[in-house]
Structure 1
Amino acid sequence: MLVEQISVNNSLRNYMYLVACPETREAAAIDPLDHELLLSRAQQLGWTIRGVINTHEHHDHIGGNEKVIQATGATLFAHHQALDKIPNVDEGLKAGDAVQIGTSVELIALDTPGHTFCHTCLYYMGKGDFETTEQMPALFSGDTLFNAGVGNCHNGGNPETMYQTFRDQLFLLPDYTRIFPGHDYIVNNLQFSLDREPNNAAARSLLVAMEQWPMDSHFVSNIAMEKLVNAFFRLNNNEVIETLRAKFPDLQGMPTEEEVFLKLRELRNQW
């Protein structure tokens, strides 16, 4: 699978993606916003866009749909419950449905509510023996999972549901699954994780690296790294729990993972 990660020059630091089949050079666009930038990059790469996939219904993830489809005739895929929220969806995706790209790439839809109730993540299961990065599993996570953080629930979501999505699906993904999120919030997210766990050496080292990271280069984490640096993956960590007690004195005894997740989400809302 070929992946082109494209930064949108906006205040929300959106990412959009082109995902292509190496054999046919056919591609799908995920969460197009800046249609001119996306179409230009596809042309430069020699990729033909056959599909557009929205992870959810928010405008910064669907804003380029119409122009991309007008230019390419692409089929539009989105969560099956978003048909009344996203104009002109051709195919509604339920959990386990597959989007075929060319002859060799298949993205599996995951039903991942929390940020909204119409959110889907796209999972590439990988191919062969994972001898190259391109063959390794990947998750296009929209606004559910970010590098070193998770999505908010302000605009049509629910934090308890978000936790269930992580508990039942994302926490179970293989460690080597690459993460392709909908926004670049990694520096803020790492700062938040370190505020919760000041002695996390892995998070501190990564933050230093990210603060010096080239502007024109993309950082791709994986589930194994998230388990090291993302506070929302470290729900049983003693330091995370103790720093939460300082903010929430009513957090008595040994809190459940859900309680820790929800308190972290509450704090991150104000960060």
Structure 2
Amino acid sequence: MIVEQIWTGNNYRNFNYLIVCPETGEAMAIDPLDHEKCLAKAKEKGWQITQVLNTHEHGDHTGGNRQVIAATGAKLLAHANAKDSIRGIDRGLVAGDVIKVGKTVEIEAMDTPGHTMCHICLKTHTDQPSLFSGDTLFNAGAGNCHNGGHPEQMYETFAKQLDVLPDDTLLYPGHEYLIGNLKFTLDREPDNERARELLAEVENQDPDQALVTTMGQEKEVNTFFRLRSRSVIEELRKSFPDLPNDPTPREVFLKLRELRNSW
């Protein structure tokens, strides 16, 4: 499997992706907002885009659908319940559906509500597993729930689906927010030395050559996985004095998400 991460350079800091079968050159475009860059990269490499997949319905993820499909004749895939919010879906996906790209690539759809209620993430059936997480999971952060989502559902997605992924899973999110998210981690967990070291490593990184983290790293530096950390809980209590002495992971997650909204 070939993964081409495309930095859009826009104000929203979107990443677009091409997933390619190396044997046939067939490609799937994920959230190809910058249709010009996606089409140009495919042309440069000699790849044929045969499928477009939207992780969710927001315009900064669906905005390039029409142009890519017009240029390639690709089929459009999205969450099965997004048919009223994403026009022209050819295949509605539910949890466990497998998407094939060319002869060699298989990708499994995960139903991951929270950012929106019609959000999917994608995990690959490859020796080196990868997760394409849209706006659910970011490097060192979690998606917001402002426009059609719910933090309770986001917690369930993190706890039951993301936290159990293998540590060597590579993470490919929908936006580049790593530096800001690491600063939030350190604000919430000042003694997280791994987050401090990583921030120093990436503070001047070129988004065109962005660091690809693993789920193992995320569990070290992403506050939204560190729900039992005593440092996180004690810092949280400064903002929420009524927090129980031994809060549940759910309670910690929801308070962190609330703080991140205005941080």
Q: What TM-score, normalized by structure 2, do the two folds share?
A: 0.99
Residue 73 of structure 1 deviates from its aligned partner by 0.3
What amino acid is the match of 2:156?
A: Q
Which residue of 2 is the match for residue 107 of structure 1?
A: 107
Q: Give percent identity, aligned residues only.
A: 59
Which residue of 1 is the match for residue 151 of structure 2?
A: 159
The reply to whether residue 198 of structure 1 matches residue 178 of structure 2 is no
Instruction: Say what the alpha-carbon RMSD is for the aligned residues.
Output: 0.7
What amino acid is the match of 1:108?
A: E
* SS class of match (1:113): coil
For residues 121-145 of structure 1, the C-alpha deviation after alignment (integer angstroms, 9 at most, x for no partner) is 0110213xxxxxxxx1000000000
What is the correspondence of 1:231-250 to structure 2 with a 5 Å cutoff? Answer: 231-250=223-242
Residue 34 of structure 1 deviates from its aligned partner by 1.1
The reply to whether residue 228 of structure 1 matches residue 216 of structure 2 is no
What CA distance in whole angstroms lies between the structure 1 residues aligned with 2:3 and 2:67? Answer: 21
Residue 116 of structure 1 deviates from its aligned partner by 0.3
The reply to whether residue 257 of structure 1 matches residue 260 of structure 2 is no
Question: Which runs of 5 or more residues in structure 1 are unaligned?
Answer: 128-135
Matched-pair contact (CA < 8 Å) for 2:105–2:125:
no
Aligned length: 263
What amino acid is the match of 1:118?
A: C
What CA distance in whole angstroms lies between the structure 2 residues aligned with 1:253 and 1:216? Answer: 44
Matched-pair contact (CA < 8 Å) for 2:176–2:207:
no
Residue 215 of structure 1 deviates from its aligned partner by 4.3
What amino acid is the match of 2:57?
A: E
Matched-pair contact (CA < 8 Å) for 2:7–2:207:
no
For residues 149-191 of structure 1, the C-alpha deviation after alignment (integer angstroms, 9 at most, x for no partner) is 0000000000001000111100110000000000000000000
Which residue of 2 is the match for residue 59 of structure 1?
A: 59
What amino acid is the match of 1:65?
A: N
The reply to whether residue 85 of structure 1 matches residue 85 of structure 2 is yes
What is the correspondence of 1:66-215 to structure 2 with a 5 Å cutoff? Answer: 66-127=66-127, 136-215=128-207
What CA distance in whole angstroms lies between the structure 2 residues aligned with 1:224 and 1:144? Answer: 17
What CA distance in whole angstroms lies between the structure 2 residues aligned with 1:212 and 1:85? Answer: 38
Question: Which runs of 5 or more residues in structure 2 are unaligned?
Answer: none
Which residue of 2 is the match for residue 5 of structure 1?
A: 5
What CA distance in whole angstroms lies between the structure 2 residues aligned with 1:215 and 1:160? Answer: 31
Describe the shift of the 1:227–1:33 C-alpha distance in structure 2 as closer, same or farther (beyond 3 A): same
Matched-pair contact (CA < 8 Å) for 2:139–2:177:
yes
What amino acid is the match of 2:75?
A: T
What amino acid is the match of 2:209?
A: S
* SS class of match (1:269): helix
Q: Following TM superposition, where does structure 1 have runs of at least 4 consecutive aligned residues deviating by more than 3 angstroms?
A: none
